[in-house]
Amino acid sequence: MQLTENQSMIRQMARDFATAKIAPIAHEIDKHATFPEATVREMGELGFLGLTVPEAYGGVGADITSYALVVEEISRACGSHGLTVAAHNSLGCWPIAHYGTEEQKQKYLPPAATGSTLLSFGLTEAGAGSDSGGTRTTAVRDGDHWVLNGSKMWITNSHYAKALIITARSDPNATGPRGITAFIVETDTPGFTVEKKENKLGMRASDTAPLTLVDVRVPHANLLGTEGDGFKHFMKTLDGGRISIAAVALGLAEGAFATARDYAKQREQFGKPIARFQAIQFMLADMATQIQASRLLTYEACRLKDSGQEFGHMSAMAKLHASETAMFVTDRAIQILGGYGYTTEYPVERMYRDAKLCTIGEGTSEIQRIVIGRHALGE
């Protein structure tokens, strides 16, 4: 895919920042599971947190391709940083920019675009993961407010977000995906609690925590989109979010590949660099081929979305292929590095742990296959 001059400039800006500011701290923030507040603030100043926000509301108003390029480049250095940017843009800013009222856009998007506040999205529950229509959090109308009760799990950016989009069942008589509504809930609302941060395998510097809502009163003005259409709204949101996760996975794979390639050129065994052995070359060839396939799928999903065409099946393909490629490439990278790959001396073990989330978050690989299969059958 031929990038425009502006897209190339944005990608280079992201690469330079990731190399200079993110890569040097990636190991430590992973080790201590520390949210990188300083670099997140800097990413806001550079416009990376307002990529999907229209210029009218203080954002960059970038195309989806430019946005994916930024996420990809940041993730090459650190998956946690990439996931933070992805969740904020695609799950927090985009739904408000797309479904919000003018008042909601004016209130929430400008501070989000500059990074002075983060946004997030609360969909998953203990009994509603892949079955998102199984939402049990309730919303009951009380005059000009709604009263929300329930809980959410695996919510990204939750301790640092000033507002989250929460899905709740607003029609108790509806079943499945019907009767679900989305609300913008400010995190300092009485009864809203962000619980203890999760201790995770990977993406350890990304903030993830469960939420509890007990009689949380939300103004009717904070209802996002159309009442009862929350399921349709968040399905469309996830279609775009899968491009983000594909970009995170792509970046992780590229970072691991570059590390393994450079190591293979320098590491000598039997009197020559291991890159000269066919076994290593075959591994690198398979890695490079899968990365290129993932890149083309991801950029094609971006192109379709940018041009206003139906893109849900392509974003599912991109997310599926890129996430499984990231697992394959990081595994092969560890193998090429041998014992060093199994230690924290090199970043490939961290990338391996980070990559696993990409096969789970925003729809598991199994869910992506269902989406792709149904599209193939014309359903």
Quick check: helix, strand or coil at residue 368? Answer: helix
Tell me whether residue 178 is exposed, middle or buried, using C-beta atoms within 10 angstroms of its C-beta: 0 to 12, 13 to 18, 19 or more: middle
CB 68 within 8 A of CB 299: yes
> Considering Cα of 18, then 93, then 113, then 52, what sign does the dihedral take?
positive
Residue 131 to residue 45: CA distance in whole angstroms: 37
Strand partners, 141: 146
The number of beta carbons lying within 10 Å of the beta carbon of residue 84 is 29
In the numeric block, the tokens 């190399």 are attached to 19
Residue 17 to residue 30: CA distance in whole angstroms: 18
Catalytic residue positions? 362
CB 72 within 8 A of CB 61: no
- Single-letter residue type at 41: R
CB 98 within 8 A of CB 54: no
CB 86 within 8 A of CB 129: no
